[in-house]
Structure 1
Amino acid sequence: MMSAPAPSSVYEDGRYLEQNPGWHEEDSPWKAAHVLRMVSAHGLAPRSVAEVGCGGGMILVELAARMPEAELTGYEISPQAFARCTERSRERLTFRFEDLLQTDARHDLLLTMDVVEHVEDYMGFLRGLRRHGGLHILHIPLDLSVQTVLRASGPLLHARQKVGHLHYFSRETALATLTDCGFEVVDWFYTYPAPGAPGRRLRTRMAGWLRRVAARMAPDLSVRVLGGSSILVLCR
C-alpha cells in the first residue's frame, strides 16, 4: 500500500495554488495594518523584519511602504508562491526560497502570519522559530468556537480541505501553546475580517457584521460562541 503524501506537499506541488489562486493576497493590507497597530502600540522600531511563509509577499510589500528604516525579508518554501513574491523584490525587500529554520538568520522582528495551523509538527516549528527572532508577531485563526463545533462537518472541515488548516485553536489554546513552546506573551488582540474584504459572499459579510457588533459588547463571549476571528500576538 502506498503511503499518503504529507499534508505539507500541497504547498510544493501546486495543489494549494489550484485551491487558492490568489494565495490570500486580498487580505494582505488588512494583516499589515494589524502588524503596524501592534508595532505602534509598543513603540517598536525594528531594523530587520522577516516573514516566514510569506506567500505572495504582499504583507511585506505593504510594510515596506510604512517602515522606511527596516530591511525586510520573506522566506517561502512553495515554488509557486516564491514565483509570485520574488517579482515584488525591491530596495530593502528581498525574498528567499528556503526554510528559515534551516538557516542561521536572525531578525529583530519575525512575522508568522496564518502559518502555525498549517504545520504538522506545529510545536516543533514554534520552538524552532524562537532563535530566529528577537521579537515575534504571530497571527493565528481561532477556528474553535461553539458554532463551528456544533456545525460538525461544516467550517472545520472546510478550513482543512480548502485552506489546509491541520490544527484548530481557541484563544486559550493558542496562547498556551506559545507559552509551552518557550515564548513570553507580551500583548495580544483579536482581529476580525475587514467589512469590505473582496470575495466575501453576502452571507459571510452579514455574519461578519453580526460578530463585530457582538464583539463590541462582549468580545470574549462573542469569539467563543460565534467564532470568525483570529488573534495577533506579540511575543519575545
Structure 2
Amino acid sequence: MKEMYESDLYGEKNPTWHEEDSAWKAGHIERMIKRNKIPSDRICEVGCGTGEILLTLEKAFPTTSLSGYEISPEAFRRAAPKETPNTKFYLKDLLAESDLHFDVVLAIDVIEHVEDYISFIKKLKEFGTFKIFHIPLDLSAQSILRAWPIAELRRNVGHVQYFFKQTALATLEDCGYTIVDHCYTASRLELPNQAFSSRMMRLPRRLMFSLNADFAVRLLGGYSLLVLAK
C-alpha cells in the first residue's frame, strides 16, 4: 500500500487529501494536549498530508515549532508552499531519521494504512515523549454485516488494518506504550457533507451513544479513537 502514496494514486482517489477535515481533527488534538497539560514546544506529525492539521495547530500554539513528515511527493508539493517560520514540511520518512526528538508526535489516521503497523508503532516511540494517535474504528457490527464499507475503505483510502477500541488500545500497550488519555471522536456526527446513510444514522448514533458509548460504537460505528500515549 506504500506505493499508493508515493505515486499519484491516492491523490486521484482523494483529490482534497481530506483537508476539509483538518480543522476538526486539530481541534480534538488541541483539546487533548491542553486537557492533559503536556509539553508542546516541539510537535511533529508523521504522515502530515498537505499540512493543514499542523497549520491549524500553529494558531493554537503560536510559539511551538511544528514539523511535518510525508512520503507522498504530491502531498508534499501541496504542503511546502504553505510553510511558515514555525511550521516546516519534509519529504522524508520520519522513521529513517536520527537524532530527532519531539515533545509530541502525531500519527493522525496513519497506522491503518501501514502494512507492518506493529514495527511502525514501536519505532515511532523513540521520536517523542508523548504520542497522539487518531485511529478510525472501522470494525463495528453494522460494517461487518454490510461488508462493503470496509471494502471501500481498502479500495479508496488504503486502509489495510481494521480496529475496534479494545484492539487499538491493546496494540499500543503491546508495543510498549502507556495510555494516558483517550476519547471517541464522531466524524459521522460532527463533520458536514456526509453521505445520506450517515445523515440518517445521526439521531440513532447520538441517542445510543448517550446511553452506552462503547456499545453504540461497537454496534453502529462512525467513530474514531483519539489516544494520548507515552
TM-score, scaled to structure 1: 0.94
- Say which structure is richer in helix: 2
SS in 2 for 1:189: strand
Cross-structure match for 1:135: 130
Name which of 32, 43, 46 aligns with 2:40: 46
Name which of 105, 118, 124 aligns with 2:119: 124
Compute the displacement of 1:178 (Å): 0.3
Compute the displacement of 1:196 (Å): 5.7
Structural mapping, 1:34-183, within 5 Å? 34-104=28-98, 105-152=100-147, 154-183=148-177
SS in 1 for 2:82: coil
Compute the displacement of 1:200 (Å): 1.9
- What is the rounded CA distance, in whole Å, between the counterparts of 2:131 and 2:86 in structure 1? 20
SS in 1 for 2:23: helix
The one-letter amino acid paired with 1:100 is: L
After TM superposition, the runs of 4+ consecutive aligned structure 1 residues lying more than 3 A away are none
The 8 Å contact of residues 26 and 198 in structure 1, kept in 2 or not, is answered as: no
Compute the displacement of 1:103 (Å): 0.5
The 8 Å contact of residues 188 and 194 in structure 2, kept in 1 or not, is answered as: no
The 8 Å contact of residues 154 and 160 in structure 2, kept in 1 or not, is answered as: yes
- What is the rounded CA distance, in whole Å, between the counterparts of 2:190 and 2:140 in structure 1? 23
Q: Which runs of 5+ in 1 are unaligned?
A: 1-6
- What is the rounded CA distance, in whole Å, between the counterparts of 1:203 and 1:14 in structure 2? 30
- What is the rounded CA distance, in whole Å, between the counterparts of 2:79 and 2:203 in structure 1? 32
Structure 1 residue 227 and structure 2 residue 221: aligned?
A: yes
Q: Which runs of 5+ in 2 are unaligned?
A: none
SS in 1 for 2:198: helix
Percent identity (aligned):
45
- What is the rounded CA distance, in whole Å, between the counterparts of 1:20 and 1:210 in structure 2? 29
TM-score, scaled to structure 2: 0.96
The 8 Å contact of residues 50 and 78 in structure 2, kept in 1 or not, is answered as: yes
The 8 Å contact of residues 193 and 208 in structure 1, kept in 2 or not, is answered as: no
Cross-structure match for 2:201: 207
Compute the displacement of 1:44 (Å): 2.2
SS in 1 for 2:40: coil
- What is the rounded CA distance, in whole Å, between the counterparts of 2:6 and 2:207 in structure 1? 40
CA distance 1:179–1:8, change in 2 (3 Å): same
- Alpha-carbon RMSD: 1.2
Say which is worse superposed, 206-215 or 53-62, in terms of deviation: 206-215
SS in 2 for 1:111: strand
- Deviation track 1:32-56 (CA, whole Å, cap 9, x = no partner) reads 0110111111112311001000001
